[in-house]
Chains A and B, each alone.
Chain A
Amino acid sequence: MHNTDFDLKLDRLTKVEGSASLDIRVKNGQVEYAHFQITEYKRFFTQAMQRKPIIALPQLLSRICGTCSNAHIMASIEACEHALDIKPSEQTKILRDLTMYGLNIRDHALHLYLFALPDVRGKDAFLDFDENDPVEHQMLHDAFEIKAAGNFFSELIAGRSVHAPYPVIGGFMHFPDQKGITEAIKKFEAVRPAVLRTIEIYKNQPFHFDRKTNFMALVPYDHYGFIEGCINTGLGECITEEGYRDHLERVVLPYSQASGYKYRGGAYMVGALARMNLAKNLLHARTKDASGGALDIFPSTDIYMSNLAQAIEILHCLDHSLEILKTRKFNPEPIIKKPFREAVGIGVVEAPRGTLYHKVVVGADGMVKEGEIIVPTGQNQINIENDVAALVEKMLPDTSQEKMQFEIEKLIRAYDPCMSCAAHFLKVKWLEP
């Protein structure tokens, strides 16, 4: 069957964020190409941000993506604060950590239960799970309880799960009250056993796909988190905040005009698997104790272990939040303001799906001149395509195309791609004949 020739097109992937398709051509039993294409229509945020007042920028850019919106807010605020030379207070930094924890709990749970778990259980949809089956009954209830706890927490800390209104340049507009904090502690403790069950599910998931690649993530200095740190390139270096601009402009941005991102000539992966591979030693002590053997699996090159990494991240987000909520009081603080100045600011955060870069160029009048946004799914594109090509070749020649389509979609789903964000890149992909 070495003369196997066919074209395979997955028109619109399901159970992912947004709209994407995949084109594969097989010739003589070899994958000639696998093109992962974002089919969202561009909404041109990098143009739209021009001539906007800088204070309006984080809320505008949150509209790039509903599910990652709070990560875009954090990255944009950081970029704007760097441009305006604003140093946030300790309390603001903690509230931002908590904002990212709420986001990750909610967003990872959506992916792990509603998108990925139907594949594990051999069902089309999570809502098809059988409430009379004790295992699936538990899964149904666990999923919505974890999601609800994350949603409640996001509302408490940031004002909303989507396009959060409280975090702004220079601080927060609102602070959690004791009643809400007590309720959050209660909900998080109640839902913790469900999160441990989620870890167990993905520790034992039946799928594996190993392919060596490089991992890159923003790695914090003290505790596992999503905002502070240096960019660990996976090649023995860690780029500190002073080096963000050079890294972005010299390494990351040039590839936004190419067919995908590479680092030192090689594809790389960002996201929960990269973070866990590079920073598991920084997880909360309670998380480490409870995760047991699950942590020994990392570092891993098995893409499906990204699901396990997300489950462990949910637990870390719960455990660190619980420690903060039980030991800290939150007091109203004024917003830090500085005069506008002509400057460039870079913000780098770990969105749920990986490293997210925002760049803003602001004028002395406080109006944005221009900017750039580099999203995780863009950085993962070459890796996704390489994985799909390797998977298809592994399945040739005896696998039906229907089965191939299912396996490809399942593999891509493990990347938890976000196409609303990714509609910003892939510029040249569309220019190819």
Chain B
Amino acid sequence: MIQDKKLKIGWFSFSCCEDNTVVFTELMNDHWQEWKKLFDFRHVRVLKSNNVLDDLDIAFIEGAIASDEHAARLKEIRVKSKKLVAIGACAVVGMPAAQRNYFNEKQKQEIEFLVARFQALPKVLKVSDVVKTDAEVGGCPMDPAKFLEMVNKLVAEFKK
């Protein structure tokens, strides 16, 4: 890693309430100046319109994987990212986005036509069911301090 080169960052949301995105934007209140110097935000839909998915240094993934389309997208991100980090409960353990996995028969019947129409997976998956993760920050929402700790650790690794 060249000392002064910005790290290329992507932030991707799958099936979830995007609470981690909100926490991320709140962390920016104190860190935006530092992150502006440190990161090249290549693909962050909450921040910009012109998003590019090319080679990334770190991909942050929030949300669970609910469809083949999600899984294919996640695999594409994995191939293009040096480090992939699962963020928040839905990404790390699948819940609560995966609550339909635990429905009773009656509830499953009620939602069956919608699952079919959306071409959703029979069961909602956590991120590590689909791709290898390099780090995980759990919580609903994620713990800001733990997220910062992980970011700082990854940045230090890239600067080695």
Contact = CB atoms under 8 A, between A and B. Distances in A.
B13 interface: yes
A67 interface: yes
Interface in A13-36: 14-15, 17-19
Interface in A133-178: 140, 144-145, 147-148, 151, 160-163
B118 A151 contact: no
Interface stretch (B26-34, B53-61, B147-155): B26-34
Interface stretch (B78-86, B92-100, B129-137): B92-100
B36 A127 contact: yes
25 contacts: A15-B49, A41-B97, A41-B118, A41-B120, A42-B114, A44-B107, A47-B103, A48-B99, A50-B107, A63-B17, A66-B18, A66-B23, A118-B48, A124-B48, A125-B41, A125-B49, A128-B48, A144-B28, A145-B29, A161-B23, A162-B22, A420-B18, A427-B114, A430-B114, A430-B118
Contacts of A160: 141
Contact of A126 (B20, B47, B70, B120): B47
B43 to A, nearest CB: 10
B106 to A, nearest CB: 9
A115 B99 CA distance: 31
Interface of B: 13-23, 25-26, 28-30, 32, 36, 41, 45-51, 66-67, 70, 96-97, 99-100, 103, 107, 110-111, 114, 117-118, 120, 140-141
Contacts, number: 131
Contacts of A48: 96, 99-100, 103
B110 A66 contact: no
A409 interface: yes
B30 to A, nearest CB: 7
B18 A14 contact: no
Contacts of A162: 19, 22-23, 141
B49 A14 contact: yes
B44 to A, nearest CB: 8
Interface of A: 12, 14-15, 17-19, 40-45, 47-48, 50, 60, 63-67, 69, 106, 110, 114, 118, 124-128, 140, 144-145, 147-148, 151, 160-163, 409, 420, 427, 430-431
Contacts of A409: 49
A414 B66 CA distance: 29
A123 B97 CA distance: 34
A204 to B, nearest CB: 23
